[in-house]
Homo-oligomer: A and B are copies of this chain.
Amino acid sequence: MRRLEIIAVEGLGEVKPGDPLGRLLVEACARQGLAPRDGDVLVVAQKIVSKSEGRAVDLHAVTPSAEALRLSAELDGKDPRLLELILGESRRIVAKGRSTIVVETHHGFVCANAGIDLSNVGVGRALLLPKDPDGSAQRIRDEVRRLTGKTVGVVITDTFGRPWRLGTTDVAIGVAGFGPLIDYRGGTDPYGYELKASVTAVADQIASAAELVMGKTSGVPAAFVRGLDLPPLEGSARDLIRPAEDDLFRGDR
């Protein structure tokens, strides 16, 4: 019987800049009697990655530019210091709503507020995405292997909204150790019909699955997904970014 387990990693405590996240995660696992296994995928919330990498910013230290002030007026008085940070993390603005701004980050992710959070970071502070989330994932993977001898995949997740559907789902912004897409194209169904357009975003589905135990307020910043049978590959979350020429919803404006 095919069965997966999703196991919460708890008791990590508050993560501070410079903290060795891979080691903290391995130690938290040990405290709860959880040993990583070869082939596990370790899912880590972006928040603790960003915190360990010193990506928290004091909003009082941010001086909004003229463009941020102009955007603030346009966006219902949205905090111009936050807008200044968003612009700094973005390649372009994709869409604007009443008080919403959707951008393409320097990584290429399209999301609200450039993924910058004001929650769970301290009042008056903002938390930016990691600069290189694939690199963050790779460092955690290397550290888990060094400390436990086990080869795991790693996903760094963030919580994104999406068009057309309400509610957020977690997605992969960093990947190490497996391919984030599974390509069925060229295969056939049981009737002999050739599959033409079947590519599954397995890393995003792993992120969403892990969020079911991580939650938003539960103090669970990581989880193992156990029982997947993914071939070990280099992998990068960049593979999940749709090329512009293939995107009907670029929103260039």
Question: Hey, which bits of chain A sit against chain B, CB under 8 A?
Answer: 1-8, 10, 32-34, 95-97, 100, 102, 109-110, 118-123, 159, 162-171, 180-182, 184, 187, 189-193, 195, 198-202, 204-206, 208-209, 211-213, 215-220, 225, 228, 239-242, 246-249, 251
Contact = CB atoms under 8 A, between A and B. Distances in A.
Contact of A121 (B32, B191, B200): B191
Given A1-B33, A166-B181, 14 more contacts: A1-B34, A5-B5, A97-B246, A164-B241, A164-B242, A165-B201, A165-B242, A166-B240, A167-B182, A167-B202, A169-B169, A195-B217, A200-B215, A206-B212
B169 A165 contact: no
Given A167-B199, A168-B198, A212-B202, A120 B4 contact: no
A219 B190 CA distance: 9
Interface of A is mostly: loop
A211 B191 CA distance: 21
A248 B95 contact: yes
Contacts of A164: 109-110, 241-242, 247, 249
Contacts of A109: 164
A135 to B, nearest CB: 20
Contacts of A206: 212
Contacts of A159: 200
Contacts of A212: 4, 202, 205-206, 209, 225, 228
Nearest to A248: B95
A5 B129 CA distance: 30
A99 B80 CA distance: 42
